[in-house]
Amino acid sequence: MRIAFAADDENETTRAVVAYLTAEHELIRPARSESWPQLGAAVGRAVVDGDADFGVVMCWTGTGTAIAANKVPGVRAALAWDAWIAEGARKWNDANVLAMSLKRLAPDVAVEVAKAFLGVSEPDPDEAANIAQL
């Protein structure tokens, strides 16, 4: 899949996520900046515009990039810190952008979270009515 990715800092965790996305998906970098509001918005726009299937954003907490992405109409960005939360965000919320903390997730956990998020092909149809209200 085409994954739009941005992070406002680089460390072992972001490098592990980039390596995974590059190996398993097509990595798209819609913006290079250290401004987390701009990065979150750029990834959100890439998803909504159809340039990417999903987005992954990372900042120190994950929250700022999630908020910035969610300001783009049509984006449903979810902050996730473990695989269950990430999988649930896709299944039950049809999230289209994953946000993670690059400071609090170990590299292997961040990759596991991204894999769980991107591993769900379709949201749960039982949630369709709820998702439609978002």
61 lies in the site for ligand 5RP, by CB under 6 A? yes
Residue of the chain from 38, 63, 109, 123 that contacts ligand 5RP (CB under 6 A): 63
Residue of the chain from 5, 6, 8, 116 that contacts ligand 5RP (CB under 6 A): 8
Residue 21 C-beta: closest distance to ligand 5RP, Å: 19
Nearer to ligand 5RP, 65 or 96 (CB): 65
5 lies in the site for ligand 5RP, by CB under 6 A? no
H/E/C letters for each residue in the chain?
CEEEEEECCCCHHHHHHHHHHHHHCEEECCCCCCCHHHHHHHHHHHHHCCCCCEEEEEECCCHHHHHHHHCCCCCCEEECCCHHHHHHHHHHHCCCEEEEECCCCCHHHHHHHHHHHHCCCCCCHHHHHHHHCC
Q: How many amino acids of this chain bind ligand 5RP (CB under 6 A)?
A: 7
Catalytic residues: 59
Which residues would be at the binding site for ligand 5RP (CB under 6 A)? Answer: 8, 36, 59-61, 63-64
